[in-house]
Amino acid sequence: MLQRFAHYFAIHRILVSRLFGVAFFVAVLSMESMHEGNLVSTALFLLGLVLVGVATVGRLWCSLYISGYKNTELITTGPYSLCRNPLYFFSLLGFAGIGFASETFTLGILLTVVVFAGYPTVIAREEAVLRERFGPEFDAYRARTPQFLPKLSGFREPETYTVNPRKFRSTMFDVIWFIWFVGIVEVVEALHEYHLINPLIHLP
C-alpha cells in the first residue's frame, strides 16, 4: 500500500500536494486535541512552530542555491553539502511541524510517516536523472554526501554565490505555505472554541 502511494506520489506530486491540503483542512475541521488547554497541548504547538520555522528557513536556504541552476548544474555546496536532498529533509520537518501544531501526537506522527514513505521513490527517480546527466561528477558527490540525513561535518559554502532573484522570488511563495497551514490550524481551533464548528473526534 505504502509502495503504491510512493509511486503515485513520485509521478503526481502537485496533485497529491493539493489533495493533501484539502484532506488536512477537512481533518482539522472535524477533530480536536484531547490535550486541549493543558501543558501537553502547549508543548506540542511550540514543537510544531519550531519545526515549521526550521523547515521554512531551510527551504528558503535550498531555494537560494538552486534558483537559476536547477537541471543545469550539480549543486553540491551550502545545504546540498549536508545531504543530497535537503529540500525534502526540511519539507519532512515542516509536515511534522504542521501535524504537531494541531496539538496532537496522532497527526504529527501520521504526517511524518506518510510523507517519509513517499520520498524514497521520488528521490530514486530524481537521482537517476542526475546520474544520467552528470555522470562521474554525481557519483563522486553521492559517495561523499548522505542521501537524506544531514552530515554536519561535510558542510561547505562559497564566499560568494550568484542568485537569480526573479526565480528565487517565485519560489518564496512555495516555501511559506507551511506557515499558512499553521494559521489554518489556529483559525479552526478558534472556530471550535467559539462553538461555530463542533469537532467530531478527539485525538491524542
pLDDT at 2: 47
Query: CATH number for the domain including 76?
Result: 1.20.120
Q: Which amino acid is at 174?
A: D
Q: What is the DSSP letter of 84?
A: S
Q: Indicate the pLDDT class of residue 8, thresholds 50, 70 and 90.
A: low
pLDDT at 96: 93
Q: Indicate the pLDDT class of residue 5, thresholds 50, 70 and 90.
A: low
- Indicate left, alpha or beta for 46 from its phi (over 0: left) and psi (-120 to 50: alpha): alpha
User: Of the given ranges (44-48, 111-115, 140-144, 172-176), which has the lowest mean pLDDT?
Assistant: 172-176
For residue 30, being part of any structural domain is answered with no
Rounded CA gap, 198 and 189, in Å? 10
pLDDT at 30 over 60: yes
For residue 54, being part of any structural domain is answered with yes
Q: Could you list the residue range(s) of the whole structural domain that residue 134 is in?
A: 2-11+38-203
For residue 28, being part of any structural domain is answered with no
CA-based torsion, 59, 60, 62, 68: positive or negative = positive
For residue 68, being part of any structural domain is answered with yes
For residue 150, being part of any structural domain is answered with yes
Count of the separate structural domains present in the chain = 1
For residue 27, being part of any structural domain is answered with no
For residue 26, being part of any structural domain is answered with no
pLDDT at 83 over 80: yes
Q: Which amino acid is at 140?
A: A
For residue 32, being part of any structural domain is answered with no
Please check whether residue 28 is in contact with residue 90, taking contact to mean a CB–CB distance below 8 angstroms.
no
